[in-house]
Amino acid sequence: MDIDRLATTRHIEIALVALQAFQVLFLWIHDRVPLGHLNDVDAVRRADPTQLLVFVTFVQRAPFSIGLLFCLLDFGLPYRELEIFLLELGASFSFSLLARNASSSMERILHRPSVL
């Protein structure tokens, strides 16, 4: 592999791991830190007791955090099959949630009563 291609591959890997780290960070903080119109921290706290919220936070975020840890440990090396599986699973799960949220938003927009 020539030097330019290796450097390009390294830059792409850095960008992808940085994006993955941003996603994991967002998963950890989005129920705790007010992010304007993106979340309602008070509603989350009213809906669930603190102990349940802490438990659910760890259970839901652990697989994504473990996947990020594996990617960081093997940075610059070929990924193991488990890492590839975790990345594919995480991406599939994230895109399915995005599609579900987008379709429910479209339903609300299309079925909203007219204000005229």
Write down the pTM of the prediction: 0.61
Indicate whether 116 belongs to any domain.
Answer: no
Indicate whether 115 belongs to any domain.
Answer: no
Find the domain containing 58 and state its range. Answer: 3-110
The tens digit of pLDDT for each residue in 21-78 reads 998 888 888 777 887 777 788 887 888 788 888 888 888 888 888 888 888 888 887 7
Indicate whether 16 belongs to any domain.
Answer: yes
Indicate whether 103 belongs to any domain.
Answer: yes
Indicate whether 39 belongs to any domain.
Answer: yes
Name every residue whose Cβ is closer than 8 Å to that of residue 61 and which is 6 or more positions away in sequence: 24, 27, 28
Domain count, the chain: 1
